[in-house]
């Protein structure tokens, strides 16, 4: 299966020396902030999972981001507030990483008028233009051409801004994905196409849906860089995204980034779907052992960037605040 080929065959787990090299030019304050952001996303999502199941206070369909926190965090940490990100039905992580207010997001999930989308979007249509998230769409691939259009507007208006399209591996089936890559490359638009490949298109393995599972190589046909990264290593996500964003901002080219990751919960809702026979416990355990939060936490503790006391304070502070 493709998940075994990538995760085990390519041996993406870096050793200590490689990790240190990767983080060598990332400021420690950014490393700390990224850790806080990922923990914030995880705790928010876990609370949502509780509210969806018991006492079923949230009734809007929720697609949880647990396990994928490094993607949104790494990319958004390299962006400016005026840069735009466009999200999907799995939008909570992108909203939080871009600086969104947790209370406003929770209110949106309750469909209250105090929500970030005034209670009209629910979980799948989160929007907050004030932080640079103009919108999310439940239509697979729906925001990819919109992100390209925003980048075109930035270019025509001579704005120093970049647009990012977040989307899943299922969007690689859609025509607008290829059309947008072509147009963005042709016009050298300041846009990043960030594919969060969690290895499943709803309930089907990507190996059962794509003849060529190397999504990053799709960029070759359009003369733009295509890069595959370890989407559970937030330091790698940050460095690759930062370079792509700098290239886009300097008018060089757009970039396609395929971020290999894994969602711990089902396609929608709080359960793991193991009872449905959609994936194995061995596979889930393998990816849970590659928890993006634990990976960064281990690095920060081993290099004296964060103490165990500080870690505990971060978790307690986020828990109290939410």
* Interatomic CA distance for residues 290 and 296, integer angstroms: 10
- Is the pTM here over 0.85, yes or no? yes
Q: 21-30, 87-96, 125-134, 215-224: which has the minimum mean pLDDT? A: 21-30
Is residue 197 within 8 A of residue 261, CB to CB? The reply is yes
- Strands (E) across 98-145 are located at 135-136
Domain of 218, CATH number, reads 3.40.50.970
User: Residue 303's CB: how many other CB atoms inside 10 A?
Assistant: 14
Could you list the residue range(s) of the whole structural domain that residue 208 is in? 2-321
* Interatomic CA distance for residues 181 and 162, integer angstroms: 15
* Residue 57 DSSP class: -
What does pLDDT average to over the chain?
91
Flag whether pLDDT at 11 surpasses 70. Answer: no
169: CB partners within 8 A, 6+ apart: 195, 196, 197, 198, 199, 200, 201, 206, 210, 215
Residue 275 banded pLDDT, cuts 50, 70, 90: confident
State the total domains in the chain.
Answer: 1
Tell me the two tokens of residue 123.
């979980």
* Residue 44 DSSP class: H
The confidence score (pLDDT) of residue 63 equals 95
Residue 319 banded pLDDT, cuts 50, 70, 90: low
Sheet of 191-197, strands arranged across = 135-136, 84-87, 163-168, 191-197, 255-260, 226-230
Note the residue count of the chain: 322
Q: For 230-245, what is each residue's pLDDT tens digit?
A: 999 999 999 999 999 9
Mean local confidence (pLDDT), 122-129: 94
């Amino acid at each position: 299966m493709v998940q075994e080929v990538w995760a085990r065959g390519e041996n993406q787990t870096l050793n200590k020396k490689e990790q240190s090299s990767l983080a060598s030019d990332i400021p420690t304050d950014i490393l700390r902030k990224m850790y806080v952001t990922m923990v914030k996303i995880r705790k928010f999502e876990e609370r949502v999972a509780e509210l969806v199941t018991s006492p079923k206070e949230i009734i809007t369909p929720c697609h949880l981001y647990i396990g994928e926190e490094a993607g949104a965090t790494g990319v958004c940490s390299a962006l400016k507030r005026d840069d735009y990100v466009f999200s999907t039905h799995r939008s909570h992580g992108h909203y939080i990483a871009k600086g969104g207010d947790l209370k406003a997001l929770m209110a949106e999930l309750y469909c209250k008028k105090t929500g970030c989308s005034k209670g009209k979007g629910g979980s799948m249509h989160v929007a907050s233009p004030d932080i640079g998230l103009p919108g999310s769409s439940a239509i697979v691939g729906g925001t990819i051409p919109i992100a390209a259009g925003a980048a075109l507007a930035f270019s025509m208006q001579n704005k120093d801004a970049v647009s990012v399209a977040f989307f899943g591996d299922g969007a690689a089936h859609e025509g607008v994905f290829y059309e947008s890559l072509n147009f963005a490359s042709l016009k050298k638009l300041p846009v990043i196409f960030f594919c969060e490949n969690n290895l499943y298109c709803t309930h089907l393995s990507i190996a059962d849906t794509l003849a060529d599972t190397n999504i990053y190589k799709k960029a070759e046909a359009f003369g733009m860089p295509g890069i595959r990264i370890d989407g559970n290593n937030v330091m790698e996500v940050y460095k690759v995204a930062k370079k792509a964003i700098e290239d886009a901002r300097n008018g060089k080219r757009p970039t396609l980034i395929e971020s290999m990751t894994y969602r711990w919960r089902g396609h929608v809702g709080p359960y793991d779907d193991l009872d449905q026979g959609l994936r194995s416990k061995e596979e889930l355990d393998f990816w849970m052992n590659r928890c993006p939060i634990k990976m960064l936490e281990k690095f920060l503790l081993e290099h004296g960037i964060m103490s165990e006391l500080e870690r505990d304070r971060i978790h307690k502070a986020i828990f109290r605040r939410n």
